[in-house]
Structures are given as structure tokens and as C-alpha cells.
Homo-oligomer: A and B are copies of this chain.
Amino acid sequence: MPKLGMEPIRREALVKATIAEIGQAGSLDVTVAQIARRAGMSSALAHHYFGGKDQIFLAAMRHTLSLYGAEVRGALVMAHGPKARVEAIIRAGFTHSNFRREVVAAWLNFYVLAQSDDQARRLLAVYQRRLHSNLVYNLRPLVGARSAEVAVRIAGLIDGLYLREALSKEVPSGDDATRQVLTALAHEITQADREPLV
């Protein structure tokens, strides 16, 4: 039955199945056979297309990351003005879709992987730098020269609240977290207004 051009289809199916399996297990403790079965093929085929388990994981991570990136970009095109843009970035991180089991699991295990796997760490750095420069750029009109510093706090707060929300409740509320970050942002802006020359 070899229909041609199966490779991209198989790869995508495997990536999705990988994310689903990781989400179900909560860890990277999933076998190639499980992934392949969910993707509707033999484990040998998974090895054939990806070469090894690590490659499959990396591809899954890249996919999760790019979904997040797309979400941020999508939110940004609909936002006009610096404040709306910063708010869009914040909101994008706490979307319902970002709190799905699989996505949380992907992120947490991504962090774990980043300790030992250089490729994972680099991927993470890319995402963080993009988010950071996005924030810095749009914060400048709001908080002036302190922009870079403020961006660190906002980004850190996003990550920290995401982590807490994802782990503490069964049904995470992105709205609570969003409100918290927006409040912090408001403080930063107020602060800037008090020291307009700094």
C-alpha cells in the first residue's frame, strides 16, 4: 500500500501521538511502541522516520513551542498600541489551551530535559529571548529605560504563575493568573509615571 509522500504525514502523526502520550504519562517515560501504536503504525516505522527516541521527543518539543509562538503572534496582530500588545502577550500565556494536560506535561518535561540536553536548552533559550525582546520593545513606551528590567519581572511572573496554576489546581484558571500579571504591569507603569526622567 505504499502511497507516496507518506513521510510528512507519518511524522506529524508521530509528533502528535508523542505529545498525547507524554501528557497521559506526565513524563517522558513513554515507549516508542506506545507512541507508534497511537499514531497507527509499527514502532519500526517510527524509528525509520525519526532515527531514535530522542529525535521524536525533540520534534514534539519543537511542535509545542511553535504552537505557543503562533498563539502569541496571533494575539499580537490583533492588538494595537504598546499596552494592548503587552497585555496580549500576557494573556496568550494563560490561554485555556496552554493548560491542557499534554501542554503542561510538555513544558515541565521540557524544563527537565533542558538540564541535560543541549538542543532542548537552546530551544528554550530561543523562546525566552523572543518573549523577552517582544516585551522589552513594547514596554519601552510604557516604562521607558527600565523596560529591560521590567520585562524580566513580567516574564518571570508569567512562568512562575503558570507553574503554580498548572500544578496546584485540577482546573487551572488562566484568568486569575492573567489578572495578577496585569496588576503587576500596572504597578510598573505607575512607578514609571512617578519617575518620568529615569
> Chain A binding site: helix, strand, loop or mixed by DSSP?
helix
Are the CB atoms of A157 and B157 closer together than 8 Å? yes
Q: Does A97 lie at the interface of the complex (its beta carbon under 8 Å from any beta carbon of B)?
A: no
Number of copies: 2
Are the C-beta atoms of B163 and A161 separated by less than 8 Å?
A: no
A74 at the interface (CB under 8 A from B): no
Residue-wise interface mask of A (171-198) relative to B, using a CB-CB cutoff of 8 A (1 in contact, 0 not): 0000001001001100110110010000
Q: Take A157-B156, A183-B153 as given contacts and tell me if A26 and B167 are in contact as well, using a CB distance cutoff of 8 Å.
A: no
Can you list 11 A-B pairs with a CB-CB distance of less than 8 A?
A108-B115, A111-B163, A114-B167, A153-B184, A156-B157, A157-B157, A159-B159, A159-B163, A184-B184, A187-B188, A187-B190
- A112-B112, A152-B161, A153-B180 known; 14 other A-B pairs, CB under 8 Å? A26-B115, A105-B115, A111-B167, A114-B167, A121-B167, A125-B168, A149-B183, A153-B157, A156-B161, A156-B164, A157-B157, A158-B160, A163-B163, A187-B187
